[in-house]
Amino acid sequence: METKKIALIGTTGASFYGFRADLIKSLISKGHLVYALTSEYTEQCLEKISALGAIPITYQMSRGGLNPFADIQAFLQLKKILKSIEPDIVFSYFAKPVIYGSIAAKRAKVTQIIGMLEGLGYTFTDQPEGQTTKTKLIRYIQVLLYRFAFPCLDKMVFLNSDDQKDLIGTYHLSGPEVHILGGIGLNLKDYRFSEARVTPIKFLFIGRLLKEKGVFELIQAMRLVKYKYPQAHFTILGAIDHQNMGALKQAELNVLIKEELFEYPGYVTNVNQWITDSSVFVLPSYREGVPRSTQEAMAIGRPVITTDVPGCRETVVNGLNGFLVPKWDAEALAEKMCYFIENPEQINIMGLESYKIAQENFDVHMVNKKLFEIMGLDDINEKNR
């Protein structure tokens, strides 16, 4: 089989070894040469990318910045890098890399250009009080940039069909062939099934501390549950994303920590252990691609309470492996948390259903097989090795 040079363009270095490790290893096992282009990194990040077998290349781009001159610089830098390495395939993910990476790849005359959006982000997320004028303006600019970028793409990958409809359908964008992936998948060997302990019942949230992850509704719901069941136990895992417009402020977090409403270990690396120690997973997000944290909780065998919104609704069959609640509804969220406190025997019944769905839909080997097909590469058959 012919060896290909593949350039993956992302932003954070951690996204390569955190979410792309199995894909990179599969590509390299087939003899392909993989470059990982990252704009937010530490020396340790670059070492971890190299340890996977990929060649890390750094470039300058502000993920959340709104400076058009800085973005033009990023585009020019990407074009120069791509011209020098001459990849056969460019695969960009996240909004800015998809926009500037795809245009740069077209200018660098790359044969095959693929983009992937794992969610449409803050500007496409409905807010309870409506979107601000600033957010609407940023979305308008983003759509305009997608209008330039999409004709440069050969293929575009979304995780859920709502994202395709809300971007391509709503704004009549034309250009690439569209594929729905259904989640970036997990290496299920890393997520060992376990029965949940139900004394005490522990509710777990994992995610960046963003308004659109439903953090404020979650806090309201916790108060409602605690009023009825003072012994109820909650844990929040995740850091503040200072580059995101919807981020919780540090001062607000400090007040909540003092209130001792929930346990807050902050950002952790041993997520599996925290899920294993929990009983029920909760994610009241406003919109997702297909949330990885929910997939992880399901793979370990935990029931899920999440919102009936794009991306989240891909993970729960309502009443089978958990519950879908309306977005922005703290009372509905509290009611379902109380349901599990009042019906603890349902936790492991629903958790087992979560596990079955994860085995069927979230196996990274199946997902990578789809990605190989999208890239026009041979079937990896990694599972049979």
pLDDT tens-digit profile of 7-19? 999 999 999 998 8
Written as six digits, the tokens of 5 are 């040079």
Query: Residue 122 has what pLDDT?
Result: 86
- Name residue 351's amino acid: G
Query: Residue 245 has what pLDDT?
Result: 66
Specify whether 324 is located in the same domain as 298. Answer: yes
Average pLDDT, the chain: 94
Query: Residue 224 has what pLDDT?
Result: 98
Q: What is the CATH number of the domain that holds 100?
A: 3.40.50.2000
Q: Look at the block and give the residue holding tokens 């009549």.
A: 172
Specify whether 102 is located in the same domain as 243. Answer: no
**Number of separate domains in the chain:** 2
Query: Residue 1 has what pLDDT?
Result: 63
**Measured between alpha carbons, how far is 267 from 361 in angstroms, rounded to an integer?**
27
What are the two backbone dihedrals, phi and then psi, of residue 246, each rounded to the nearest 5 degrees? -100, 20
Specify whether 18 is located in the same domain as 140. Answer: yes
Specify whether 337 is located in the same domain as 212. Answer: yes
Query: Residue 383 has what pLDDT?
Result: 41
Query: Residue 382 has what pLDDT?
Result: 42
Specify whether 353 is located in the same domain as 376. Answer: no
- Per-residue pLDDT for 385 more than 80? no
Specify whether 97 is located in the same domain as 153. Answer: yes
- Per-residue pLDDT for 344 more than 70? yes
Domain extent for 339 = 188-361
Confidence of residue 113 (pLDDT cuts 50, 70, 90): very high
**Measured between alpha carbons, how far is 77 from 88 in angstroms, rounded to an integer?**
18
260-311: per-residue pLDDT in tens?
Answer: 899 999 889 899 999 999 999 999 999 999 999 999 999 999 999 999 999 9
**Measured between alpha carbons, how far is 183 from 180 in angstroms, rounded to an integer?**
9
pLDDT, greater one: 315 or 65: 315
Specify whether 157 is located in the same domain as 246. Answer: no
191-250: per-residue pLDDT in tens?
Answer: 999 999 999 999 999 998 988 999 999 999 999 999 999 999 999 999 887 767 667 888
37-88: per-residue pLDDT in tens?
Answer: 999 999 999 999 999 999 999 999 988 788 899 999 999 999 999 999 999 9
Specify whether 76 is located in the same domain as 44. Answer: yes
Specify whether 75 is located in the same domain as 181. Answer: yes
Specify whether 339 is located in the same domain as 196. Answer: yes
Measure Cα distances from 199 to 265, 305, 345, 347, 366 in Å. Answer: 21, 19, 11, 11, 36
Specify whether 372 is located in the same domain as 227. Answer: no
Query: Residue 379 has what pLDDT?
Result: 53
What are the two backbone dihedrals, phi and then psi, of residue 111, each rounded to the nearest 5 degrees? -65, -45
Specify whether 216 is located in the same domain as 356. Answer: yes
